[in-house]
Structure 1
């Protein structure tokens, strides 16, 4: 946990003395108190839930829906690797929280949750300071709730590996993905301009972690770097000078997915001349590369840490709520936390049981999407006096993109009669449909269709890859 977060948590106990209490009294509709729903975290699950609760309850005054999120815009996290590679325009896909709230009947609070008072049913939110401008935007605030949904997502887990904080970039937010892309462009332009031979680490990239993010990033970078070099960087030969290394501590890539997908992905990566290293545990990251447990050093100018998953550390100190060893909040089959029935947790920050299987559901976008839909039904049913129902995860399979025209994966369920292996353009279409489902949940059919058409036409007028 960062020093700044520690300070904010220490302040949390005294927040009610200094903060502006935003919801001092319940909003009322015709003299009847309105149910207060607070959602913390505007990722895939949180924003979908806030949007649909606002549409169904907020617009007609049946509930007050508030979304607390520290970012100003939303971007679908599974596509962060495309921002990092420069093959997708962030601004063309970003959703402005303030506008979304205005259109869909909920309130947006810009800030970061730092504490919780379950007895008083209050969420503490830290002051918001604009990091770029150094400007103090809001003070500390406290929001009252009747139902609380925590959907703050997950972070990468560096397992305390030395040098990660200083020398590696984590693809956790759009800002970090943009930062990586800028460093990539700078590295190529620097190498193209210099008159001396390239150093061993120059134009070498090490991606640590061969889950879906690492594999998709490696494939996307292969195509993006060649497109980037084609725009006049004549002194760089991508086949000779650029090396992509994918490093995995486990025995195979995509180890959370079926072996057939793993084997197909490995074969395709190797055809792209991406060096895949499995059973290779990283012990340190330096300014010049990555050190492995066997003593080998892999030179790398750019290092991306895409290994491990953990929830934000503050969840482990949230007024007695039960959490596991990676900070996820433990929830019951209804997605209510084990310690408090007024609090739900969804998405990557929740340790949700996989009914009918051993263990918990995996951290996937389709999980957050399904959980948001379930909690929507739970909350609307709660307001009508209906009992809570358990959530069952429906695994529709897994798809991994290996570039604009190649996707591998499997589909599962009644639609395909069990487990269907797919690849190629059909798989690519299915992969893209996952994002369209998210857009439909946020915008509806007409706006999704118009937005898709506009982005398609815009792409015809710009470079194939972001050049700055």
Structure 2
């Protein structure tokens, strides 16, 4: 389904006021919680609220523009082909019916805070035919969990020629390009052109660094499937470009050093301290003069919240569009609107910086919002959020995993790998429960031997 939010709808609240509120959201007998965004935080919150209150005290609705959910920290594995989204995606419609909340497909384009209503743009199919008309949903508590998108900082050509990894669709599209690049190179008789089979990853955060390792593994795995007309080991090149002085700038320095050493050992080129000034169809420009040819360019250099938050009926936002919230996660200036995850700018007392945009932040905030909504149901004051940093882990495919835990404890090897995978299992447990997560894990282990090690289509 193709969702087409039209600017005229986003900026014309009067037009939406002529649309009757959806009847299911006009029920005043239950407290209406609307969650916008089905990422890690939004889906976990909808699930927990549905299980705890959905049968009696709450009307819980989750809105997302997609029909399925894949845990965003694993999108680099989708991009490399080592994770097949068809096997690991959560289908919102089925999940909602099993966990006592509603799912509505759509893209929110505005809100009316005075009337406590949200505006949803019409939905269209791939041929441009309207499937669902514009809608207006009422709420008593609105939770925005729309996550973040890549920030190209206005770099010329980045939006057109580089692929971001914000969605499953983008990651799958990049994976197809990787496969096509390998097939094309294997089938041609002439010498490879400059930059062919060269992938440049702009940005050396966790996504970029982990993607580099996964691509090193998966491109060679693809080549091993009878693509023997070309020396892939010699001709596949991966480069990471970072404007800052080192990779993994938001993580402890020892993690960066260990990861950089392992990547260099794999033949990944790392360029730090230089800025991408333009992305073209054939590669990237660095600084004023240097041009690096590349067939594939991934942009993971920074994040921002979606642009529509900047004009959300007067709510305060920070320079990268995140909603400014207080220590209870309530948006400044409205007691009925909250934000969690990457789209929230939360500076807790005693800190100068907002909480980091990590999966563990969204997970903890989703858990906290259950307590906030329970307090609202009882007419009590919302509790303050307390964040606990459990550390950081970086996984370089099969080549090593490094971590820094509470108190600076360093871990690596098998223990770090198991801890890294447990983060995903914790998310699955929150979404599916212990029994289904255990069963799916067993099935996954058994079926792993019957599937290709990398997605090939």
What TM-score range do you get, normalising by the shorter chain? over 0.9
1:356 corresponds in structure 2 to 350
Quote the residue 1:136 is aligned against: 130
Shift of 1:358: 2.1
1:100-144 deviation per Cα after TM superposition (whole angstroms, max 9, x unaligned): 1100000001000001000000010111112x3433220000000
Among 57, 64, 67, the residue aligned to 2:59 = 64
Verify the 8 A CA contact 1:331 1:345 in the aligned structure 2. yes
Name the structure 2 match of 1:415.
none
1:39 to 28, 35, 42: 35
Of the three residues 412, 428, 434, the one matched with 1:439 is: 428
Contact between 2:395 and 2:402, CA under 8 Å: does it hold in 1? yes
Q: Give the 3-state SS of the residue equivalent to 1:375 in structure 2.
A: helix
Partner of 1:388: 382
Deviation at 1:388, TM superposition (A): 1.1
Question: How many pairs does the alignment contain?
Answer: 455
TM-score (norm 1): 0.95
- What secondary structure, in the 3-state scheme, does the structure 2 residue paired with 1:14 have? helix
Residue 54 (structure 1) aligned with residue 50 (structure 2): yes
Name stretches of at least 5 consecutive residues in structure 2 with no aligned partner.
none
Q: Say yes or no: does 1:425 pair with 2:425.
A: no
| 1: CA distance, partners of 2:74 / 2:409 | 24
Distance 1:240 1:16 in 2: 62
Q: 2:110 is matched with which residue?
A: 115
Task: Determine if contact 2:213/2:399 at 8 Å carries over to the other structure.
Answer: no
**Displacement of 1:254:** 0.3
Deviating beyond 6 angstroms after TM superposition, the runs of 4 or more aligned structure 1 residues are: none
Counterpart CA distance in 2 for 1:52 and 1:369 is 11
> Where in structure 2 are the equivalents of 1:274-423 lying within 5 Å?
274-404=268-398, 406-412=400-406, 418-423=407-412
Alignment of 1:9 onto 2:29: no
> What SS is found at the alignment partner of 2:421?
helix
Output the CA distance in 2 between the equivalents of 1:286 and 1:4: 28
Instruction: Find 2:89's aligned residue among 83, 86, 94.
Output: 94
Which residue number corresponds to residue 162 of structure 1?
Answer: 156
Shift in Å, 1:441: 0.5
Answering whether residue 449 of structure 2 is matched by residue 460 of structure 1, we say yes
**Distance across 1 between alignment mates of 2:442 and 2:103:** 28
Q: Which residue of 241, 253, 259 maps to 2:235?
A: 241
Confirm or deny: 8 A CA contact 1:218 1:246 kept in the other structure.
Answer: yes
Q: Distance in 2 between matches of 1:322 and 1:105?
A: 32
Q: Is the 8 A contact 1:327 1:349 kept in 2?
A: yes
CA distance in 2, matches of 1:382, 1:231: 58
Match of 1:449 in 2: 438
SS of equivalent to 1:225: helix
* Contact 1:26 1:34 survives alignment (8 Å): no
| Residue number among 242, 245, 251 corresponding to 1:251 in the alignment | 245
| Alignment check: 8 A CA contact 1:202 1:300 kept | yes
* Kept in 1: contact 2:31–2:58 (CA 8 A): yes
TM-score (norm 2): 0.97
The gaps in structure 1 that reach 5 residues or longer are 413-417
- In structure 1, the residue corresponding to 2:150 is in which secondary structure? coil
Distance change in 2, residues 1:25/1:221 (3 Å): closer
How far apart, in 1, do the equivalents of 2:311 and 2:4 lie?
A: 15
Matching residue within 77, 81, 84 for 2:76: 81
Q: Check the 8 A contact 1:405/1:424 in 2, yes or no.
A: no
